[in-house]
Amino acid sequence: MPSETFERLAENKKKAIFDAAVEEFSNHSFSQASINQVVQSAGISRGSFYQYFRDKEDLYMYVLGEIAREKMTVAAATRDINPHADFFETYRQMFMSILDWAESQPRYYRISMLMDYDDSAFIAKLRDQFGGNWDFFRQLIEKEKQRGRIEPHVDADIVVEMLFALNKSFFQDYWQTGSRDQLVDRMESSLNIIKGGIARV
Amino acid sequence: MPSETFERLAENKKKAIFDAAVEEFSNHSFSQASINQVVQSAGISRGSFYQYFRDKEDLYMYVLGEIAREKMTVAAATRDINPHADFFETYRQMFMSILDWAESQPRYYRISMLMDYDDSAFIAKLRDQFGGNWDFFRQLIEKEKQRGRIEPHVDADIVVEMLFALNKSFFQDYWQTGSRDQLVDRMESSLNIIKGGIARV
DNA sequence: GATAAAAATGACAACCCTGTCACATGACAG
DNA sequence: CTGTCATGTGACAGGGTTGTCATTTTTATC
């Protein structure tokens, strides 16, 4: 966590440092991000930086925390999804709201993307923790099974794992090509195939 | 490509360098691999290395080439897959033969894995080139559609993309946890779901 | 204004890395 | 045995990184 000295800083200075960190972390993976770049871009001295943060990991955690806080807004918006919508519709809606977020905050989104492109132990641990709350979907599938809308023999875990993998892969592609339409198409098509494979008819 | 000087080297020396490179590239992503480590581990001087290879990229390409040559054997074994087997069975068999290869050559396999964990331009280009020949499966799906074993409205591309994404994701997980059984389970289950979604009944 | 506490600074040490090059050592031919 | 050519070597320059710390500057308080 940042030092108390940092907390006491003027808002605009804190923001300058945060922005510089976001800039660096959205262009380089954690391992390759350079504190030198950050301090230069933020317009502070090297010594100051180390008075605010213990090291690069500390800074990274701070940035992630701030982003998570801002993300709350999105999460809140996600909550008022039609509770009567079925699993597939719910997934679709959540997917779209994540996509909207990615497009409205491309730098934040790139940071999360770059987490997948780093093999340091630190980031690996983070990946596991922040893995996203896919548990929600697992429970939703179980409910649908009880309601008879999904075949009862279906393993909810594997469906969630599939969606997770597809989500990650399609988003990564989108990150490079930048075609929103293709991303949405892929999501729709793959979801329909899965639906065909597990829905009770 | 390696210099002629390198080609003229004694076999055991060439092998020592190759092994050292494999060791380094299977433990660090390309960007983080160090030539210093390689020369030390191979027991040659820094100066010699640069007499053999232009730079790290050159060495990497050499290693990849050698691995590809050895991989031919696997590819050959793959060819005598039952031509009458359906798409899903063929996929299963190919999957298993890749898994076998990964288990017999874990260091080679880790190198290919680490290619996905690198964001350098050089590796990005390679990823696109060596993307694997999934075209084979696309054609197989088209054939199955004609034979009436797969729904004609199915988009072969999306199925291939799904399999590719799942393959990558499951293998990555396997790489970290190392559970072969789980990997095979996941492949079987997800393939069955896709089958349910696209097969003509 | 004087004093004390807080914050900012950048030179520095220590450690990585790469690519080069003048020189040393080997091997082989005459 | 000597000269030539192929090969091996490691010190070196030039670049990067991180984390520290003695010193200066700013800010707040009396």
- Is A154 at the interface with chain B, CB within 8 A? yes
Q: What is the pLDDT of residue A56?
A: 98
Whether residue B130 has pLDDT greater than 90? no
Q: Using pLDDT thresholds of 50, 70 and 90, give the confidence band for residue B154.
A: very high
Per-residue pLDDT reduced to its tens digit, A124-177: 999 888 776 788 999 999 999 999 999 999 999 999 999 999 999 999 999 988
Per-residue pLDDT reduced to its tens digit, B27-39: 999 999 999 999 9
CB contact under 8 Å between A165 and B165, yes or no, is yes
Q: What is the pLDDT of residue B61?
A: 97
What is the full DSSP assignment across A90-130?
HHHHHHHHHHHHHHH-HHHHHHHHHHTT---HHHHHHHHHT
Q: Which of B116, B165, B197 sits opposite A193 (nearest CB)?
A: B197
Q: Using pLDDT thresholds of 50, 70 and 90, give the confidence band for residue A103.
A: very high
Q: B164-182 burial string, b = 16+ CB within 10 Å, else e?
A: ebbbbbbbbbbbeeeeeee
Cβ contacts of residue B91 below 8 Å, gap of 6+?
Answer: B137, B163, B191
Q: What is the pLDDT of residue A130?
A: 75
CATH number of the domain located at residue range(s) B4-196 in this protein: 1.10.357.10
Whether residue B73 has pLDDT greater than 70? no
Q: What average pLDDT score do residues A107-123 get?
A: 92
CA distance B21 to B33: 9
Per-residue pLDDT reduced to its tens digit, B98-112: 999 999 999 999 999
- Is A27 at the interface with chain B, CB within 8 A? no
Asked if the Cβ of residue B9 lies within 7 A of any atom of strand D, the reply is yes
Does this model's pTM top 0.85?
yes
Domain boundaries, chain B: 4-196
pLDDT averaged over chain A? 92
Per-residue pLDDT reduced to its tens digit, A23-68: 999 999 999 999 999 999 999 999 999 999 999 999 999 999 999 8
Q: Using pLDDT thresholds of 50, 70 and 90, give the confidence band for residue B77.
A: low
Q: What is the pLDDT of residue B108?
A: 96
Asked if the Cβ of residue B16 lies within 7 A of any atom of strand D, the reply is no
CB contact under 8 Å between B161 and A154, yes or no, is no
